[in-house]
Amino acid sequence: MSSLFFHCLTFTALLLALFLILDNRHDSALEENDLTTQEISTDSFYDLQEKINSMLPILIGSILIGIVFAVLLQEWLARESWTYRIFDFIMVILAGIPSVFYGLICIYYFIFKSGRVSYLTHSLTVVLLTMPITIQSTQYAVKSVDVSIREAVYALGVKKSRAITQHVIPHAFSGIMSGVYTAVSRSFFVAGLILVTFAWIQTAHSRDPFNIPKNAYVFLIAALLCSLGASFLNRKTVPNVLSSFVL
């Protein structure tokens, strides 16, 4: 029940965040109170906003593909095979790289090289940011399902595909969702970071460095909520989450 509650809570937060982002597209960022409009090009800011919003389908797609890929990797590929080892090694490396590094890549391509690179390049940066962490956490979640459950199911003559969709994935659901929240949190954080960086560059001579677009706050708060959601799913208890958050 508690797991369901936190799923609902985080999804509500996500939906709220997305609603606010889309709702505020045309008025929030560049109101006079938010930014000194003399120092920022309205068109370029909307342009950046559009580019970030257009990454939403890529984000959802990369997460879904990541989950499917991880399940296939974990369940259908023999663990001793070279293919499995190579994929596993690549995912460990990519997921282990701190998100700040990907954030810098995103800032570079979304702000400094924005007009000179294609939609594909932007998409690839988002895929790199989200897919490895989704794949790795899904792999761990699927791997951690008790082998006795699989045995009990296979001993009844259930097909592998059915066993995985009806038994393995439901048992691994919390772990998978934890990875999804982490991936979404990473991408929201980087989106917020891009907006903040852009605003700081544009308002370099402004006296107030915290005078940044509302949308950036929305992204950062959504990232924080998703991160908390992932922690709740990982650690299950409120004191554990709070202590990890404080520490």
Partner 1 sequence: MQSQEAQPILSIERLNVWYGKKQILKDLTIDIYPKQVTAFIGPSKCGKTAFVRCLNRLNDMQHDFRYKGNIHFDGKDINDPKTKSTDIAQKIGMIFPKPIPLQRSIYEDVAYSARIRGIKQPERLGHIVERSLSSAQLWDEAAENLDASPRILSISQQQRLCIARALAANPEIIIFDEPCEQLDAAETPKLEAIIQNLKNDYTIIFVTNKRRQAARVSDVAGFLYSGELVEYGQTEQIFTNPKDERTENYVTGRLG
Q: Which residues bind partner 1 (CB under 8 A)?
A: 78-80, 147-159, 167
CB closer to partner 1 out of 7 and 167: 167
Smallest gap, in angstroms, from Cβ of residue 104 to partner 1? 40
Smallest gap, in angstroms, from Cβ of residue 153 to partner 1? 7
Q: What are the distances in angstroms from CA 236 to CA 21, 40, 138, 243, 247? A: 30, 45, 17, 12, 17
CB closer to partner 1 out of 94 and 149: 149
Tokens 């979304």 -> residue: 110
**Cα–Cα distance for residue pair 142/74, rounded to 1 Å:** 7
CB closer to partner 1 out of 161 and 244: 161
**Cα–Cα distance for residue pair 150/43, rounded to 1 Å:** 56
Please give the structure tokens belonging to residue 203.
């308002």
Length of the chain: 247
Smallest gap, in angstroms, from Cβ of residue 135 to partner 1? 20
CB closer to partner 1 out of 19 and 154: 154
Select from 163, 215, 175, 187 the least CA-distant residue to 45.
Answer: 215
Backbone torsion region of residue 236, taken as left when φ is above 0, otherwise alpha when ψ lies between -120 and 50, otherwise beta:
left
CB closer to partner 1 out of 1 and 156: 156
Smallest gap, in angstroms, from Cβ of residue 71 to partner 1? 16
Confirm if 111 and 193 have CB atoms less than 8 A apart: no
Confirm if 198 and 48 have CB atoms less than 8 A apart: yes
Smallest gap, in angstroms, from Cβ of residue 157 to partner 1? 3
CB closer to partner 1 out of 147 and 247: 147
CB closer to partner 1 out of 33 and 148: 148
Smallest gap, in angstroms, from Cβ of residue 33 to partner 1? 54
Smallest gap, in angstroms, from Cβ of residue 190 to partner 1? 38
